[in-house]
Amino acid sequence: MMFGWGDVFEYLECGHCGCLQIAEIPADLGKYYPKQGYYSYKPPKKKSYPDWVLRLRHRRTGHYLGEPTLLGGLLGALSKRAGHFEWLRHGRLTLDSRIVDVGCGAGKLLLTLQRDGFRSLLGADPFIEADIDYGNGVRILKRSLHELDGEFDFVMLHHSFEHMPDPRGTLAELRRKVSAQSTLLIRIPVCDSFARRKYGVHWMAWDAPRHLYLHTVKSMHLLAAEAGFEIFAVSYDSSVQQFASSELYLRGVPYVEQSRYHPGRSPEAFTQAEWDGFEARAEQLNQERDGDTACFYLRPMDSRKGP
C-alpha cells in the first residue's frame, strides 16, 4: 500500500508472544526500497547557521544533558525542547558520546544532532546508494550493522529494527557493539495496539513486505533478555498517522498519495476537526500505553553492577 502496487503477503502470529512475522521474505526485497520514492532516502534540506547560533545551541544541549550553566538554562527555558532530547536523556550522554544511528537513511536526525553540538556521529544503512560524508563530521556508511566496527555509547534504531530479517541475531550483534554503560534505543510499531485491533489488515504499520517483524511489548522483553539486555523503559509515541493513513488504506489510497488529504489541501481532504480528533486520540492512546508505536530503552544486564 505504500506505492499502491497491491502485492499480497502472508504473516504468521506467534501464539505465545503475539509477534507477527512475514511468512516468506521476498527474494528481491530491494525492489520495495526504490531509491526514487522511498521517503527515508530523500536528501535532507541543507541548513546553515552562523557560528554564534551554533555555540548557543551547544550550550542549550549541555543544559538538556544535565550540564547546567546560567546561559544554557536560560536558553533552555526560552526554547521549545525538541523531541529527540526525550530519547537522549535516557542515555547518560555528553557531547562527546559515540552515537550511531542504524538504518538512518540519508541521516537527517544525525545532521540535527550535529547542529546541537554532538561531535561523534555515525550512520549506517545498507540500502543507500553509496557512503555519504557531509563534511561536518557526520558520515553515513553503506553498511549493515554486522559490518560496523567499533563500540558505541548510544545506539539508535528509529523504525529500522522491524525491517531486519533476524531480530535475535541483530540484538546479539548490538550487544557486542555496546559497553556496559551504553544505551540502546529501538523505536518500532507495536502490534499489541488499538490501531492494529481496529483496522486489522488495513492498519498502516503493516507496511508489507518491508516490515518483516511486528513486535509486541512481550516479544521485545523476551528477545532483549535472550541477548543480554534489559528493557528499563518503554514510552509510546504514536501519531495521527495510525488513524489518517489507515482510514485512507481502507479507501485504497496509497501512502505516496496521502499528502493531499491533509486538511485544506484538497476537497476530499480530512477536515481540521477530523485531524484534531486523530491527534487527540493518538495522545490519549500513548498515555494509556496503547498507541501503535513505542520507544524501547535497553541496557546490558551487567550495567546494573556499575555506578
Q: What is the pLDDT of residue 53?
A: 78
> pLDDT averaged over consecutive 10-residue blocks of the chain (307 residues)?
93 97 92 72 73 81 78 76 81 90 93 92 91 93 92 95 95 93 96 98 96 98 97 97 97 95 95 97 98 97 56
List alpha helices for 120-193, DSSP H.
167-176
Structural element, H or E, at residue 273:
helix 272-287
Q: What is the pLDDT of residue 40?
A: 62
Q: Which of 5, 117, 97 is nearest to 55 (CA)?
A: 117
The HSE-up count of residue 302 (CA atoms within 13 Å, CB side) is: 6
Count CB-CB contacts under 10 A for residue 106.
19
CA distances from 35 to 5, 64, 126, 129, 299 (A): 16, 36, 12, 8, 34
> Taking CA 208 as the corner, what is the angle to CA 205 and CA 213, rounded to the nearest 5 degrees?
75
**Maximum distance among all alpha carbons in the chain?**
60
| 8 Å CB contact between 43 and 106 | yes
Q: Quote the CA–CA distance of 260 and 127 in Å, as a whole number.
A: 28
The model carries a pTM of 0.89
Which cell is 117 given? 553540538
